[in-house]
């Protein structure tokens, strides 16, 4: 009864053949769509999914690597900073050493020059004195000669000779 | 009321409208699918995007309702083709109704209970198959007595009601849409001459748009409920 009203649209006919036909068409459609569209597309979607997973993994790896690299670089930078300060301090101490050495050398040289100058001066003084002494002797002898030739009495001559002899004896 | 063109072949009766409609739509779907997936690439092009969107849509229906991973893979194809097939059969009657004399040659095959029952039957048979594959024949029958044994007859009746509601919901929606469209076109439009024709045109347009919407919703509902029924069979309650 209910089925009669239900199939009002099909006007009393219950065409079972259609069911069979739909089944066949649907199965053929399933097979063909699977072969031509669904298979390749879902394969590609799966492949893309895998690729995205791989890409994400490798991106994570790369990020980690970059982090490690950055850390290394920072450490290297710190090291090089330390090295630089060390080099600068070494250079400073070296410069100080050299400068003090140079000052000391200069001092020494100045002292030696001073000494030499002093010695030279003394030598010059001695030489001058000696020369003066010799000249005084010559001049005195010449004066003496002149005085003697002018008026040398016998007494004076005697005294002079005595004095000379005395000087010889001493 | 238009008469269906029924003929007998090999002792079985066939309705020509349903056969023409379903075969036509199957061919259209096949061609569209082949056209959309002609060049499959890792970086999808526009056409590939469309088919991937549809596939994703039906895949989500499957994944939401079927927990079993093995069944999901097979049902993905079933849901994809079923959705496209029912959707396009729903839309066929919206733009193409061929009548020769008083007999219907082309209309929506889903506006016919035999068609919707055929597809509901397919779903049901598939659900039995998946259930038996998963639990074995004994386990399958035992699932009817879950959670308590006295529910066995109710669960058995549920199979029949599932089958009827699944098929008749689709049939009713599409058939009502066609009936109203025919009423507007054949009865309302010529009733008072030019004024009613002018009035009927936007009405028919609005109703057609609504029918397209209903057809899509019903295709979605049909596939979703199919997956719910199959999903119920492959999961232990």
Task: Specify which of A111-115, B1-5, B195-199 reaches the highest per-range mean pLDDT.
Answer: A111-115
CA distance A64 to A85: 32
Average pLDDT along chain B = 81
**Residue A5: pLDDT over 80:** no
CA distance B82 to B223: 7
Count A/B contacts: CB-CB distance under 8 Å: 128
Question: Looking at per-residue confidence, does B15 or A50 come out higher?
Answer: A50
pLDDT digits (tens, 9 = 90+) for A25-39: 888 888 888 888 888
Identify the burial level of B78 via C-beta atoms within 10 angstroms of its C-beta, where 0-12 means exposed, 13-18 middle and 19 or more buried. buried
Residues of A in contact with B80 (CB under 8 A): 33, 38
Instruction: Pick the range with the lowest mean pLDDT from A83-87, B36-40, B67-71.
Output: B67-71
Q: Does any CB of chain B come closer than 8 Å to the CB of residue A53?
A: no
| pLDDT tier, A14 (very low <50, low <70, confident <90, very high otherwise) | low
Phi, psi of B136 (to 5 degrees): 80, 165
> What does the pLDDT read at residue A1?
37
Residue among A7, A33, A42 whose CB faces B33 most closely? A33
- B77 contact partners, CB below 8 Å, separation of at least 6: A30, A33, A34, A38
Chain-chain contact of A10 with B111 (C-beta, under 8 angstroms) = no
Nearest to B90 by CA among B62, B61, B119, B65: B119
CA distance B173 to B48: 32
Give the residues across from B3 on adjacent strands. Answer: B103
> What does the pLDDT read at residue A95?
93
- Hey, what are B175's tokens? 């058939």
Q: Does any CB of chain B come closer than 8 Å to the CB of residue A33?
A: yes
In angstroms, how far is the first alpha carbon of chain A from the final one? 186
Residue among B22, B55, B175 whose CB faces A22 most closely? B22
Residue of chain A minimizing CA distance to B50: A41
Identify the burial level of A8 via C-beta atoms within 10 angstroms of its C-beta, where 0-12 means exposed, 13-18 middle and 19 or more buried. exposed
Chain-chain contact of B26 with A29 (C-beta, under 8 angstroms) = yes
Q: How far is CA B231 from the centre of its chain?
A: 18
**Residue B67: pLDDT over 80:** no
Question: Looking at per-residue confidence, does A18 or B26 come out higher?
Answer: B26
Nearest to B17 by CA among B112, B113, B104, B117: B104
CA distance B215 to B54: 16
> What does the pLDDT read at residue A8?
47
> Which one of B21, B28, B40 would you mutate to disrupt binding with A, by most A Cβ within 10 Å of its Cβ?
B40
Instruction: Pick the range with the lowest mean pLDDT from A47-56, A71-80, B153-162.
Output: B153-162
> What is this structure's pTM?
0.69
Residues of B in contact with A27 (CB under 8 A): none
pLDDT digits (tens, 9 = 90+) for B72-89: 778 888 888 888 888 888
| pLDDT tier, A11 (very low <50, low <70, confident <90, very high otherwise) | very low
Q: What is the mean pLDDT of residues B116-131?
A: 86
Q: How many residues appear in chain A?
A: 170
pLDDT digits (tens, 9 = 90+) for A144-155: 777 767 666 777
CA distance B172 to B174: 6
């Amino acid at each position: 009864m209910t089925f009669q009203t239900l199939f009002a649209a099909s006007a009393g006919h219950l065409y079972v053949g259609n069911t069979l036909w739909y089944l066949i068409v649907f199965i053929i459609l399933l097979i063909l769509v699977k072969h031509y569209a669904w298979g390749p597309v879902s394969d590609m979607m799966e492949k893309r999914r895998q690729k995205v997973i791989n890409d994400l993994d490798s991106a994570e790896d790369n990020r980690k690597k970059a982090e490690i690299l950055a850390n290394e670089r920072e450490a290297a930078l710190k090291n090089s900073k330390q090295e630089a300060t060390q080099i600068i301090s070494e250079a400073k101490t070296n410069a100080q050493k050299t400068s003090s050495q140079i000052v000391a050398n200069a001092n020494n040289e100045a002292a030696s020059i001073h000494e030499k100058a002093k010695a030279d001066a003394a030598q010059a003084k001695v030489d001058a004195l000696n020369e003066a002494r010799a000249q005084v002797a010559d001049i005195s002898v010449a004066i003496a000669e002149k005085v003697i030739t002018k008026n040398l009495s016998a007494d004076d001559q005697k005294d002079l000779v005595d004095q000379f002899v005395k000087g010889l004896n001493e | 009321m238009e008469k269906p063109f029924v003929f007998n072949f090999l002792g079985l009766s066939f309705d020509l409208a349903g056969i023409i409609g379903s075969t036509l739509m199957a061919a259209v779907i096949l061609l569209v699918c082949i056209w959309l997936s002609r060049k499959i690439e890792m970086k999808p092009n526009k056409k590939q995007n469309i088919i991937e969107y549809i596939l994703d849509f039906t895949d989500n229906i499957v994944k939401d309702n079927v927990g079993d991973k093995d069944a999901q893979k097979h049902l993905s194809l079933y849901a994809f083709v079923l959705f496209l097939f029912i959707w396009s059969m729903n839309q066929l009657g919206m733009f193409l109704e061929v009548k020769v004399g008083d007999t219907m040659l082309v209309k929506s095959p889903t506006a016919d209970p035999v068609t919707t029952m055929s597809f509901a039957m397919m779903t049901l048979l598939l659900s039995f198959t998946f259930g038996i594959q998963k639990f074995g024949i004994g386990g399958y029958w035992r699932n009817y007595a879950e959670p308590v044994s006295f529910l066995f007859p109710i669960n058995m009746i549920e199979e029949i009601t599932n089958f009827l509601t699944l098929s008749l919901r689709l049939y009713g929606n599409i058939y009502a849409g066609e009936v109203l469209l025919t009423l507007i076109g054949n009865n309302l439009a010529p009733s008072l001459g030019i004024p009613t024709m002018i009035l009927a045109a936007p009405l028919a347009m609005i109703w057609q748009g609504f029918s397209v919407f209903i057809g899509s919703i019903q295709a979605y509902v049909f596939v979703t409920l199919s997956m719910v029924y199959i999903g119920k069979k492959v999961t232990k309650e």
